[in-house]
Amino acid sequence: MASFRIRQYQEQDFEAVRALFARGILEHAPAAFRHVLRAARVRLALLAVFVAARAAAGSWLLGLGAVALALALLWVLVRSLSAEYVREALGTDLCDVPGTYQRPPDRRFWVAEEGGTVVGMVAAMPAGRGELELKRMSVSREHRGRGMARALCREVLAFARARGYGAVVLSTSMVQVAAQRLYEGQGFRRVGTSYPSLLGTLLNFQIFHYRCDLGDGEK
């Protein structure tokens, strides 16, 4: 039996929700970095840095140092993708959860609570064309693997059906493999990809878009 409960957001959840979301996004930066390093263009660029530095300085050691510096810069760039996404969220909808998700119609924000602590979250808002968007899904690392994310996802799907929506849509990054498996297990299918920014395009960091059809909705 689940030891957590899902309830609607309350004002006292503000700091916990923001911290949970930020941790959940930033923890994927290492996986994104590894993904970028596997790209052929990045490996060729690092090789070019090594060859150029060694040729200019006549030293293997300085060549390796140049590669290390390039890797450090690359890490900063990759992490900035996640950091910018967090800053954007904290400065917009997660800065005013009641105004964004509770007062307007057909919007909700739920948290999963265990032992009086917020350890999971998810939100929903209209996306147009009879679709509801699942947003801000996050579960703390220590509480994963217990069905919490699945329960939060089902909360959104049930809400969408009750409101007459024909589909639920969402977006997640290419490195969030566990999230992709969760959504696919709940009936979502991938319907497209995009890049979050010019930097994301250069680093080949993609956003996957998913859709779960609910039948003929009334919206």
Cα–Cα distances (Å) from 158 to 10, 63, 154, 197, in that order, read: 21, 57, 6, 33
Per-residue pLDDT tens digits for 51-86: 998 888 888 888 899 999 999 999 999 999 999 999
Whole-number pLDDT of residue 217:
63
Token pair, residue 6, equals: 């899902």
Which is more confident, 139 or 128?
139
R_g of the chain, CA atoms, integer Å: 21
**Other beta carbons less than 10 A from residue 128's beta carbon:** 9
Which residues lie across from 132 on neighbouring strands?
Answer: 126, 168
Per-residue pLDDT tens digits for 22-34: 999 999 999 999 9
The three-class DSSP label of residue 167 is strand
Per-residue pLDDT tens digits for 9-21: 999 999 999 999 9
What is the rounded distance in angstroms from the CA atom of residue 204 to the CA atom of residue 194? Answer: 10
As a whole number of angstroms, the longest Cα–Cα distance in the chain is 71
Query: In the chain, how many H helices and how many E strands?
Result: 8, 7
In contact, 85 and 103? CB cutoff 8 Å: no
Which is more confident, 202 or 163?
163
Q: Following CA atoms 151, 155, 158, 163 in sequence, which dihedral angle do they give, to the nearest 10 degrees? A: -170
Confidence of residue 201 (pLDDT cuts 50, 70, 90): confident
Whole-number pLDDT of residue 218:
67
Residue 171 has pLDDT above 80, yes or no: yes
Domains of the chain: 1-218 (3.40.630.30)
The three-class DSSP label of residue 59 is coil
pTM: 0.89
